[in-house]
Amino acid sequence: MIAVSPPAWASLALGLALLLLIGASGPFAAPDPTLLYHGWWPRLVMSLLAGGGLALAGAVMQQTLRNPLATPTTLGVISGAQFSLLLATVSFPGILSAGREWVALAGAAAAMGLVVLLAWRRSLAPVLVVLAGLVVNLYLGSLSIVMLLLHHETLNGILIWGAGSLAQSGWGGVDFLWPRLLVAMPLALLLARPLDILSLGDAQARSLGLSLPQIRLSALAVALFIAACVTSVVGVVGFVGLAAPAAVRLLGVRGFAAVAGWSVVLGALLLAVIDLLLQSLSGSFPLIVPTGAMTATLSGPLLLWLLFRVKLAGRPPLPGGAHLPSTHRAAPRWSPILAALAIAVLLALMTGQTLEGWRWLDLDQAEILFEWRLPRVMAAGGAGAILALAGVILQRLTRNPMASPELLGVSGGAALGLIGALFLLPGATAPSLAAAGVLGALAGIATVILLTRRSGFAPERVLLTGVAVTAITSGIQSILLAGGDPRGQQAIAWMSGSTYFVDMTVAAAMAAVAVLCLLVVPLFSRWLDLLPLGPATAAALGLGVGRSRLVLLLMVTVLTAGATLIVGPLSFVGLLAPHMARLAGFASARAHLLGAASLGALLMIAADWIGRQILFPQEIPAGLVASLLGGAYFLIRMRRL
């Protein structure tokens, strides 16, 4: 009897599903031959090419960076392509006549070039490449949202492209994509042996004569080219690049050549099946459902199913540590941080623009201070501190520099609950929106906890499960926002992180919660000092690893959900503040927590004030400004490492 491998069974199941869907539509449904030739067939071929290409790009990135969370999004490829298209549409529309795919490709290449520049001095070390990519990705993403808020009507069509659309009006896209994939795929396979050696670790790879910068740069260049070409034609269909390679590895495949080959097969079939399923059900939806958003929505449960059924036996913790490699062991720099925080609070309370110009607040205008400015300062500072604490806990718990609060599905669940209430409850009130957000956050973390409980909340399983849950919620959000509903603008503004609607009651509650967290969270410093050493070492030192992981996960959930419901999902603060604290010399868990909280509060207060002034009388949400300020600081510091 011939043994059939698990990925072969998975491919067979997807292949049969694809044949059934083809039989229920397309040629066998006898549509107009002209529409069939110019629309249906090109779309089917495009889905196969795009799915296979994105899966291969994800496999290359994950192998090169030694991180199962690496995707084309990791290096800013997606956000670079999207931002270049937004910029060209608003400022240089004539460029688009030369071909939208070339504009997107140029933006993607520029984003990756910046990532390589930042990490080059450290031989493209995986930790720095991942962090630089995340910062560039979030930075460009923030700029894109600013442009969407300021030019919503002009850029509304880009929302559909940004959610991923495989609709074709001819064979032009296929003719553009297939020759490029035909060249790139063999190049990726030529790197199979070096990438297998690279997975053994830097020291062993060097001892075997491997040039780390050369191999990493070559592999990342191939992945960039594939992902940028696909993205430029069909938009953002990002989750396939994570789901397919992750599924192949969870099914037991080892060795890059095998992983890459099966990833291409599964990615192509997965995207084609989802797209055909979407076409067959399109008449049941009251709005446009982009394929990329639906791919994330449906691929998430697939990854969850695999995580639930497949045992990750012998998998080591995620490499890379919980922080950037530091070039110094200096004492924590408390004085400049506290001084900057005091100056930021003073400026935010006492200065601002009016219709008559810049004004210093007079003492007889105390009502402006207490009714408008003080609540925003309190809410911004409290939210920044709380999310920074959550980021420190999560990065130390998982020992992964990519970990940030939204990866657990908490922010995504809260956002989905609130957006769902906006769309489903006519005249939704603030309490009902808050209740919907809480329920969404609890549903997200409950899914993660239930699916990772049997593994003792192993970091790799927790992160992958959180990514799958986040992908599901993000996909549903994209579907709702791409429909052109005016309520989508309100949702985008809230998701950008704004303190505009905060009153004194809510602000006082946020400040009180932040103070309470600063008193309680440092009590768990010993756990956070031991867990980064690994489960075996932590257990030998008397720590109950499973229990401590569960408690810390619940703590991150409470922290993230509370801040998210008040000012929106400010995930960038939770990612950057812990690293900024580490760069400032805060090494131990207690110092790391307090330093990150101070920097998070500083970042958010400054961001809220700058957002009110920079385009007065228009306002940029504090979350976006925090992303731009923190990203700029982090990029400068990374260049010096």
The DSSP string of 463-514 is HHHHHHHHHHHHHHHHHHHTT--THHHHHHHHHT---TT--HHHHHHHHHHH
Task: Give the helix ranges, DSSP H, for 251-289.
Answer: 256-281
Q: What is the mean pLDDT of residues 209-230?
A: 84
| pLDDT digits 0-9 by tens, 65-83 | 777 767 776 677 778 887 8
pLDDT at 416: 79
Q: Residue 613: pLDDT above 60?
A: yes
Distance CA 172, CA 162 (A): 20
Q: Cα Rg for the chain, rounded, in angstroms?
A: 24
Q: How many domains does the chain have?
A: 2
Task: Write the CB contacts of 620 (distance below 8 Å, at least 6 apart in sequence).
Answer: 146, 149, 610, 611, 614
- Same domain? For 370 and 516 the reply is yes
pLDDT at 633 > cutoff 80: no
Looking at the fold, whether 379 and 456 belong to one and the same domain comes out as yes
| One domain, residues 303 and 412 | no
CATH code of 597's domain: 1.10.3470.10
The pair of structure tokens assigned to 188 is 């990726």
Distances (CA, A) of 44 to 10, 48, 67: 20, 6, 31
- From the list 244, 193, 197, the residue with the least C-alpha distance to 68 is 244
Give me the pLDDT at residue 446, please: 80
Beta bridge partners of 352: 359
583 within 8 A of 637, measured Cβ to Cβ: yes
Higher-confidence residue: 537 or 302? 537
In one letter, which amino acid is 417? G
Task: Give the C-alpha distances (Å, rounded to integers) separating 619 from 165, 242, 289, 474, 513.
Answer: 31, 36, 31, 25, 27
By the 8 A CB rule, do 463 and 399 touch? no
Which of these ranges, 247-251, 274-278, 455-459, 470-474, has the smallest mean pLDDT?
455-459
Is 172 within the bounds of a domain? yes
Q: Average pLDDT in the 90-100 region?
A: 76
- Please state, in angstroms and rounded to a whole number, the distance separating the CA atoms of residues 258 and 254: 7
Residue 358 backbone dihedrals phi, psi, to 5 degrees? -70, 135
Residue 325: pLDDT over 70:
no
318: in domain: no
SS (H, E, C) 87-134: HHHHHCHHHHHHCHHHHHHHHHHHHHHHHHHHHHHHCCCHHHHHHHHH
pLDDT band at residue 64 using 50, 70 and 90 as cut-offs: confident
Cα angle: 22, vertex 26, 37; to 5 degrees? 130
* Domain membership flag for residue 521: yes
Percent of the chain with pLDDT over 70: 74
Residue 55, judged by CB atoms within 10 A of its CB (0-12, 13-18, 19+), counts as: buried
Q: Say what the pLDDT of residue 317 is.
A: 40
Amino acid at 444: G
Instruction: Put residue 288 in one of left, alpha, beta given phi > 0 → left and psi -120 to 50 → alpha.
Output: beta
Would you say residue 180 has pLDDT above 80? yes
Residues 50-71 have a mean pLDDT of 84
pLDDT score of 179 more than 60: yes
Residue 288's pLDDT band, with cuts at 50, 70 and 90, is low
d(Cα 28, Cα 312) in Å, to the nearest integer? 42
Q: Which two tokens stand for residue 441?
A: 């956050």
Q: What is the pLDDT of residues 117-169, one digit of tens each?
A: 887 777 666 667 766 776 787 778 777 777 777 776 666 556 555 556 777 77
Q: Check: CB of residue 593 under 8 Å from CB of residue 577.
A: no
Q: Do both 284 and 347 map to the same domain? A: no
The overall longest dimension of the chain from CA atoms, in Å, is: 89
Rounded Cα distance between 347 and 611, Å, is 13
What average pLDDT is seen over the chain?
77
pLDDT beyond 80 at 531: yes
| Residue 328, φ and ψ in degrees, nearest 5 | -150, 165
Query: Is 90 exceeded by the pLDDT of residue 21?
Result: no
Two structure tokens written together for 18: 């694809």
The answer on pLDDT for 360 being more than 80 is no
Q: Let me know whether 474 and 527 are in one domain.
A: yes
Among 291-300, 350-359, 498-507, whose mean pLDDT is lowest? Answer: 291-300
Name the residue among 112, 113, 82 with its Cα closest to residue 100. Answer: 82
Contact at 8 Å (CB) between 303 and 49? no
Statement to judge: residues 261 and 355 lie in one domain = no
Q: Is the pLDDT of residue 354 over 60?
A: yes
Between strands 351-354 and 357-360, the pairing is antiparallel
Predicted local confidence at residue 593, as pLDDT: 92
Phi, psi of 616 (to 5 degrees): -50, 135
pLDDT at 322 over 60: no
Domain residues for the domain of 528 are 334-639
DSSP letter at 555 equals H
How far apart, in whole angstroms, are the C-alpha atoms of residue 132 and residue 118?
Answer: 7
- In whole angstroms, give the CA distance from residue 336 to residue 313: 47
Q: Tell whether the model's pLDDT for residue 1 goes beyond 50.
A: no
In a domain, 326, yes or no: no
The number of residues in the chain equals: 641
The mean pLDDT value for 228-244 works out to 79
- Is residue 558 a part of any domain in this protein? yes
Segment holding 368, helix H or strand E? helix 366-368
Q: How far apart are CA 448 and CA 324, in angstroms?
A: 27
pLDDT at 282: 63
Identify whether residues 302 and 338 lie together within a single domain. Answer: no
Same domain, 537 and 633: yes
Q: Would you state the structure tokens that stand for residue 278, as one six-digit string?
A: 């979407």
Q: Which of 636, 345, 314, 623 is nearest to 495 (CA)?
A: 623
Predicted confidence (pLDDT) per residue in 240-280, tens digit: 887 888 888 888 888 888 999 999 999 999 888 888 887 77
Return the C-alpha torsion angle 508, 514, 520, 523, nearest 10: -160
The per-residue pLDDT for 321 is 41
Q: Tokens at residue 499, please?
A: 């303190």
Which pLDDT value is given to residue 319?
Answer: 38
Does residue 422 form part of some domain? yes
Residue 455 neighbours by CB under 8 Å, 6+ apart:
312, 461
3-class DSSP assignment, residue 285: coil
325 occurs within a structural domain: no
Please tell me the predicted confidence (pLDDT) of residue 49: 92
pLDDT at residue 598 in the model:
93
Instruction: Using the predicted structure, report yes or no on whether residue 440 has a pLDDT greater than 50.
Output: yes
> Is the pLDDT score of 580 beyond 80?
yes
- Do 272 and 351 belong together in one domain? no
pLDDT of res. 52: 93
Q: What is the mean pLDDT of residues 16-33?
A: 73
Whether pLDDT at 56 is above 90 = yes
- Asked whether residue 508 falls in the same domain as residue 627, the answer is yes
- Tokens for 489? 């603008």
Residue 313 vs residue 512, higher pLDDT:
512
Q: Is the pLDDT reported for residue 7 higher than 70? A: yes
Which own/partner contact pairs does 305-309 have at CB distance under 8 Å and 24+ positions apart? 306/246, 306/247, 306/250, 306/251, 307/250, 307/451, 307/461, 307/464, 307/465, 307/468, 308/451
Q: Which residue in 153, 150, 164 sits closest to 82, CA to CA?
A: 164
How many other CB atoms are there within 10 angstroms of residue 179's CB atom?
Answer: 11
Q: Report the alpha-carbon distance of residue 442 to residue 458 in Å, rounded.
A: 20
Whether residue 246 sits in one domain with residue 195: yes
Q: What are phi and psi of 46, to 5 degrees?
A: -65, -40
Same domain, 304 and 387: no
Q: Residue 596: inside a domain, yes or no?
A: yes
Q: What is the pLDDT of residue 82?
A: 79
Lowest mean pLDDT among 79-88, 309-318, 342-351, 569-578: 309-318
Q: Which residues of 66-96 are buried (b: 16+ CB within 10 A; e: fewer)?
A: bbbbbbbbbbbbbbbbbbbbbbbbeeeeebe
Answer whether residue 27 shows pLDDT above 80: no
For residue 286, pLDDT beyond 60: no
